[in-house]
Copies of this chain bind each other. A is one copy, B any other.
Amino acid sequence: MSRPTPRLVLVAGATRTAAIDGISAAGASPDLLWHTPAADAEILAYGRPVEAPAVPASPTGCPTPAVVTRGARDVLGFETTVVDAGIDPPTAAPTVDFDVAAGGDIRETTPVPGVEQVFERARDLGSGLPDAEVLIGETIPGGTTTAMGTLRALGEPARVSSSLPANPTGLKRNVVAQGLDASGISAGDLAGDPLGAIEAMGDPVLAAAAGIAAGALETGTGVTLAGGTQMLAVAAVLRHAGVTGPLPVATTTHVADDESADFREAAVALDVHPIVTDPGFAHIEGEGAAGLAGYADGEAKGGVGMGGALALAARAGVLDQVRGRAVDFCGRLLGDREAVPESGSEVSSGGS
């Protein structure tokens, strides 16, 4: 009963880790940060924010990768399913609600209580999906820090990327170190206990994404993890849960080439196949082009399933059209609705 194109499942949620100064939101409008998952979900579902107050954008006006994913959806017509794994405040987009609270700050002992219920609920959904192939993406501000925390707890050395041009790597390391202390563990202590690692150092989106992937794989649905270093954390969770099959991770050149991370090496270490697509935003033109050009300067980089959407576009030979559509979206969205910059904040969790 599946359509010819894969389904994109976007897992959206929040972690209070994002409130740490400099990790994610700082400056004039930190409150807007919390609306990013809701806004991303609405852009994917409706092409623009419906109830969320603004189009997520960086201080320089680089817009959320949701515009690229939505552009690809318009061109390719793939189906999308948004999972609410802790969106707060809520969204006007249709979601499969996992009835889970936003994750706590990882400097708490147990930032993700009930992680097993989230994973099992997600596994049920994944095993019920009718598709031959699904892509799984995420939107969660602060998500690269919780990804780093989870990787550390599992003893995986992978470094993580950032949506900021200058990755606040030192700060993230400190936060993760404090988180390990608060949970009374050392790096690697939770190897082989991936849900324990998420419970102590992760966020609910990681649990939901891993569960959906696990359920889908168990029932013969191919899974592509659509994202950057956060999706490597999901891959690590799956590997530590004993999942051994193929696990491609589709991201952008901006994530893969981020020298503060080591996407390609980490992919090899986790036995996942990297699919890297260049969005080609360096030389685009049009009203919305200026915003997207920020990607070429190291902003945003990916997220909201953008890497996967671009991989589908490249596979279908329609990358130019998708790029054009994304430029079009940016021009209209940043024109007809004020994009309030979140000073110093992430564009989206994807490259946080």
Contacts and interface: CB of A to CB of B under 8 A. Distances in A.
Give the number of copies in the complex. Answer: 2
Given A3-B74, A77-B77, A81-B45, A51 B94 contact: no
Contact of A97 (B3, B97, B124): B97
Interface stretch (A56-64, A125-133, A248-256): A125-133
Interface in A40-63: 45-48, 50-51
A218 to B, nearest CB: 14
A128 B77 contact: no
Contacts of A332: 1
A93 interface: yes
A277 B96 CA distance: 33
Given A74-B3, A332-B1, A128 B94 contact: no
B92 A94 contact: no
Contacts of A34: none
Nearest to A131: B46
Contact of A92 (B3, B47, B50, B125): B125
A321 interface: no
Interface in A12-48: 45-48
B129 A46 contact: yes
Nearest to A46: B130
Contact of A94 (B1, B2, B82, B130): B82
14 contacts: A1-B47, A1-B332, A46-B128, A48-B130, A50-B128, A51-B125, A81-B94, A82-B94, A92-B96, A92-B128, A93-B94, A93-B96, A95-B97, A97-B97
